[in-house]
Amino acid sequence: MKKNQKLKGNLILLLTAFIWGVSFIAQSKGVEEISPVAFNGIRSVLGGLVLLPVIGFLDISKKKKGIAVQKADKTLWIGGLVCGTCLCVASTLQTMGMVYTSPGKSGFLTALYMVIVPILWLFMGKKPRPVILVSVLVALSGLYLMCMDESFSINYGDILTIICALVFAFHILAIDYFSPRVDGVKLACLQFFVCGLFNLIAMVIFGKTPGVSQVISLWASIGYSGVLSCGVAYTLQIVGQKYTDPTSASILMSLESVFATLTTVILIACGWSITGGALTAREIWGCVLMFVAILLVQLPEKSTESGKN
């Protein structure tokens, strides 16, 4: 792989992580006005709509190059349903948690999926590397500093976000299974519509339907989360990963938690009111330990073959 191409891919993924990191702020402000299910439902449907013209453009481009265009088959529909359901549960738990915790803290707790995924592989019969065990201990230490106060209690929002990270881990495994078998952008589009539909149904059932004026007043938060975080960022991820290796991609995308924290600190310093307030020194050290754990998980496995490049 050429160095220029890898640099290009890394920069694209860095932008992706930045968009996702700032999205934590948009979600936090959004749930101050409307329910989590309403916010997620509207932004997910918007994200799916944004990807429709992208799919059309990519299909036309493939036809011009003589590349076969994948049709909506059974595998794509099943993949969209499974991934969309996982995304619905995870994103709803994440948004609900933001009612009680800060965006920066939520960003780091959500990033726990980078540690949980290898553990799930263990239960699926794959032996983890020793560094995985070290990363779990480091992550647990970070979680303790971030979530446990002097009275040894844990915030309700922290619990929701940790469960969210677990569901996101299942979502990643589902994406890992279905993405090689179907068109990635079409899978993303379908999962957004499934996620949005489930959230909107829950919104109606539980009487959480917002007024038109409320939705319009949140155009910035919903627009950013739907268009940029869902539609644009996912497309950038697909493009960026074509030019770089999986290890570098995972590390770069996990930086969303760092951008979430930095954005929170900057906005609070500028006088913005952010749910959950600024992180304490104890919580910041917890964030540092968790980020170290995330990086440890992503360390490449040593090759047993001599002379291999």
List b or e across 233-242, with b for residues whose CB sees 16 or more CB atoms inside 10 angstroms: bbbbbbebbe
Give the range with max mean pLDDT: 68-77, 235-244, 276-285: 68-77
DSSP string, 183-214: -HHHHHHHHHHHHHHHHHHHHHHTT-PPPHHH
Question: In this predicted structure, what is the pLDDT of residue 121?
Answer: 74
pTM of the full predicted structure?
Answer: 0.76
Contact 20, 234 (CB under 8 A): no
Q: What is the rounded distance in angstroms from the CA atom of residue 221 to the CA atom of residue 49?
A: 17
pLDDT per residue as tens digits for the range 272-309: 555 555 567 777 787 788 778 767 766 666 654 434 43
pLDDT for the residue 21: 82
Angle made by CA atoms 218, 37, 264, in degrees to the nearest 5: 55
At 43 the pLDDT is 92
280 vs 77, residue with greater confidence:
77
Average pLDDT over residues 248-270: 70
For the segment 105-124, the average pLDDT, to the nearest whole number, is 76
Q: Distance (Å, rounded) from C-alpha 183 to C-alpha 61? A: 14
C-alpha to C-alpha distance for 96 and 21, rounded to whole angstroms: 17
Task: Tell whether the model's pLDDT for residue 166 goes beyond 50.
Answer: yes
Q: Which two tokens stand for residue 251?
A: 């590390």
Structure tokens at 147: 């979530």
Q: Which one is predicted more confidently, 205 or 279?
A: 205
**Lowest-pLDDT range of 59-63, 186-190, 284-288, 301-305:** 301-305
Q: List the single range of 26-30, 193-197, 264-268 with lowest mean pLDDT.
A: 264-268
pLDDT surpasses 60 at 19 = yes
Report the alpha-carbon distance of residue 119 to residue 245 in Å, rounded.
22
SS3 114: helix
Q: What is the pLDDT of residue 163?
A: 93
pLDDT of res. 46: 94
pLDDT band at 90 (very low <50, low <70, confident <90, very high): very high
For helices 103-110 and 130-147, the axis angle rounded to 10 degrees is: 160
Q: Give residue 276's region: left, alpha or beta (phi > 0; psi -120 to 50).
A: left
The more confident residue out of 71 and 59 is 59
**Sequence ranges of the domains in the chain:** 3-297
